[in-house]
């Protein structure tokens, strides 16, 4: 027996607390309510770190600021607010960056935060983003990033501690003329110095039933409002570190940064591409490896417009659950065309020749997003797999080899779309990129992984075809680009941000002019 969510006329989709591909109440509780607190504690902690720069390990100071609740209740989620991570780099580290020819740096941070309660613990990732800053000619530099962080739920009474751990500093380097500098991007890995005080402790939040009513009588005895202290029914991913049934629960990571400052390309529907009741828009970004060049290229922050399809459910014979499926379609959008903004990458061709290319990914056919999985009406556990398929041709619009510009002409491109191994070639013929993501959901927790509506990571592998049409004035550059770039085994990791449902305004997801508020941070 099959059910179809669109069998009747579609009602407005109020999405503030709903899942992308849910069935009835099974996927309804996407976002747990934040814990209320009458009193908060302000944290501003400076910790010594050691960071691995190209010239070697160098000391750095990392200052972490955040606001935590003074107390919390077991089973009730809360998120630290006002989180900023300031990395104070010494002059030697700044010299490493300027040596690449960089004049500016855009920082994104990924801070591992250990969350422990008693002997049990889990790890949260605090991500932050920032606008580009100018590099000084000499002396130190402070890079400050900020953004929302995952919520945390204490699963029993007792102190909940937050401790800073490993830090990854992703740097996008720019030259004075606005082009990419040096390697284009650089990831600096940092770890707590041996003399860090109290193992990086940031804050302690007491958890107990009395926290819900500070200053008043404790709540009456009764069943807890949060999740049970024992393991939930059905399959479930354990926290990464000290696993156990009392481990604090960390929600799915929240993409760092917001679009409030609009340091992002426009992403909106217009008269040429009007929205419908199922329209979503979102930002995407990421990295792709170029295996032959032993480097990675930053994929630019791009806009994608999505038409979300209805959810089908095929009930199990005993009606204890069902199989879910959803088909949606999307298109890249930049200046009215189905493509990404131009982006630059610099590599050492053949291992020794610096080569800088300006490129565009152009969508040449439909982008499809297909999700499938199963849900239980008994345990409410849901697992979904999503595959995004899109034909993308790589165009080169400018090329510079060892500082000398080479004319590539107006039609320099790959012979066909980037192609991935296709798990269902009979159903999806032709060359296209395939990116995959998965998610699990066990209410009342937030889903973990990728969902169309809330975003997350998508990964895949691509073969870059041979180039054609490259060169001008009788100079043929096809073989140069093919020999240095084309080939298989290029890993792709894309991060999609939270979508904006344009027909149902939600100020947490959309700007006033109905653009996505969240700007995702690229991850390797």
Q: What is the pLDDT of residues 198-250, one digit of tens each?
A: 789 999 999 987 434 434 433 333 333 333 333 333 333 333 444 445 567 77
Of 439, 432, 445, residue with least CA distance to 457 = 439
Length of the chain in residues, anyone? 524
Verify that 209 and 277 share a domain, yes or no.
no
Verify that 305 and 236 share a domain, yes or no.
no
What pLDDT digit, counting tens, does each position of 512-522 carry? 889 999 988 88
Which two three-digit tokens encode residue 299? 């994929």
Q: Say what the pLDDT of residue 366 is.
A: 95
Q: Is residue 70 part of a domain?
A: yes
What pLDDT digit, counting tens, does each position of 359-389 carry? 999 999 999 999 999 999 999 999 999 999 9
Count other Cβ atoms within 10 Å, centred on residue 472. 13
Verify that 135 and 211 share a domain, yes or no.
yes
Q: Say what the pLDDT of residue 418 is.
A: 96
Of 58, 69, 62, residue with least CA distance to 45 = 62
Q: Tally the domains of the chain.
A: 2
Helix (H, G, I), strand (E, B) or coil at 475: coil
Provide Rg for the chain, Cα atoms: 24
What pLDDT digit, counting tens, does each position of 417-465 carry? 999 999 999 999 999 999 999 999 888 877 889 999 999 999 999 999 9
Whether residue 254 contacts residue 126, with contact meaning beta carbons closer than 8 Å, is answered with no
Verify that 246 and 277 share a domain, yes or no.
no
DSSP conformation letters of 144-157: EEE-----EE--SS
Verify that 214 and 351 share a domain, yes or no.
no
Of 116, 115, 103, 110, residue with least CA distance to 62 = 110
Residue numbers of the domain that contains 333: 258-501
Out of 213-227, 316-330, 331-345, 499-513, pick the least confident: 213-227
Between CA 299 and CA 301 the distance in angstroms is 7
The whole-model pTM stands at: 0.56
Residue of 190 and 33 predicted with greater confidence: 190
What pLDDT digit, counting tens, does each position of 77-112 carry? 888 888 999 999 999 999 999 988 889 888 888 898
Whether residue 20 contacts residue 158, with contact meaning beta carbons closer than 8 Å, is answered with no
Q: Is residue 13 part of a domain?
A: no
348 burial (CB, 10 Å; 0-12 / 13-18 / 19+) is middle
Q: Say what the pLDDT of residue 173 is.
A: 85
Q: Is residue 509 part of a domain?
A: no
Verify that 190 and 74 share a domain, yes or no.
yes
Kind of pairing between the strands at 180-192 and 40-53: antiparallel
Average pLDDT, the chain: 80
Q: Say what the pLDDT of residue 348 is.
A: 56
Helix (H, G, I), strand (E, B) or coil at 381: coil
What pLDDT digit, counting tens, does each position of 8-22 carry? 333 333 333 333 333
Q: Say what the pLDDT of residue 271 is.
A: 84
Which two three-digit tokens encode residue 162? 């937050």
Q: Say what the pLDDT of residue 263 is.
A: 66
Summarize the confidence of residues 263-279 as an average pLDDT.
87
CA triplet 240, 242, 246: central angle to 5 degrees?
A: 105
């Amino acid at each position: 027996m099959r059910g179809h969510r669109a069998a009747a006329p579609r009602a407005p989709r109020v999405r503030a607390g709903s899942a992308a591909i849910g069935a009835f109440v099974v996927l309804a509780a996407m976002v747990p309510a934040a814990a209320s607190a009458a009193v908060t504690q302000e944290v501003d902690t400076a910790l010594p770190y050691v960071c691995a720069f190209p010239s070697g390990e160098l000391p750095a100071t990392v200052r972490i600021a955040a606001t935590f609740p003074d107390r919390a209740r077991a089973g009730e989620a809360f998120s630290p607010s006002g989180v900023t991570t300031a990395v104070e780099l010494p002059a030697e580290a700044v010299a490493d960056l300027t040596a690449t020819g960089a004049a500016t740096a855009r920082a994104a941070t990924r801070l591992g935060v250990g969350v422990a309660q008693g002997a049990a613990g889990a790890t949260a990732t605090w991500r932050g983003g920032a606008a580009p800053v100018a590099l000084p000619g000499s002396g130190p530099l402070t890079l400050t990033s900020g953004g929302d962080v995952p919520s945390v739920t204490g699963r029993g009474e007792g102190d909940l501690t937050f401790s800073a751990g490993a830090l990854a500093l992703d740097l996008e380097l720019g030259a004075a003329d606005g082009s990419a500098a040096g390697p284009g991007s650089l990831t600096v890995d940092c770890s707590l110095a041996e003399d860090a005080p109290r193992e990086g402790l940031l804050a302690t939040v007491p958890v107990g039933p009395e926290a819900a009513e500070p200053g008043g009588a404790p709540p009456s005895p009764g069943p807890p409002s949060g999740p049970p202290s024992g393991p939930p029914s059905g399959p479930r991913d354990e926290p990464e570190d000290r696993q156990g049934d009392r481990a604090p629960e960390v929600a799915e990571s929240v993409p760092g940064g917001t679009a409030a400052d609009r340091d992002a390309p426009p992403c909106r529907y217009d008269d040429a591409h009007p929205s419908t009741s199922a329209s979503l828009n979102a930002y995407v970004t990421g990295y792709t490896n170029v295996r032959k060049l032993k480097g990675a290229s930053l994929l630019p922050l791009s806009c994608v417009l999505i038409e979300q399809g209805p959810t089908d459910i095929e009930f199990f014979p005993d009606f204890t659950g069902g199989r879910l499926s959803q088909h949606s379609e999307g298109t890249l959008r930049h200046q009215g065309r189905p493509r990404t903004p131009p982006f630059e990458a610099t590599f050492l061709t053949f291992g020794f020749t610096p080569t800088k290319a300006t490129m565009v990914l152009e969508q040449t056919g439909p982008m499809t997003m297909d999700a499938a999985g199963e849900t239980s009406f008994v345990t409410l556990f849901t697992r979904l797999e999503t595959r995004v398929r899109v034909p993308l041709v790589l165009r080169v619009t400018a090329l510079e080899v060892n500082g000398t510009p080479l004319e590539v002409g107006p039609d320099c491109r790959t012979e066909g779309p980037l192609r991935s191994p296709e798990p269902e070639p009979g159903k999806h013929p032709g060359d296209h990129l395939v990116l995959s993501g998965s998610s699990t959901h066990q209410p009342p927790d937030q889903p973990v992984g990728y969902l169309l509506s809330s975003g997350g990571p998508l990964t895949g592998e691509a073969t870059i075809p041979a180039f054609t049409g490259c060169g001008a004035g009788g100079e043929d550059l096809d073989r140069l680009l093919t020999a240095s770039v084309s080939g298989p085994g290029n890993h792709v990791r894309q991060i999609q941000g939270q979508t904006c449902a344009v027909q149902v305004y939600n100020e947490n997801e959309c700007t006033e002019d109905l653009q996505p508020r969240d700007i995702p941070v690229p991850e390797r």
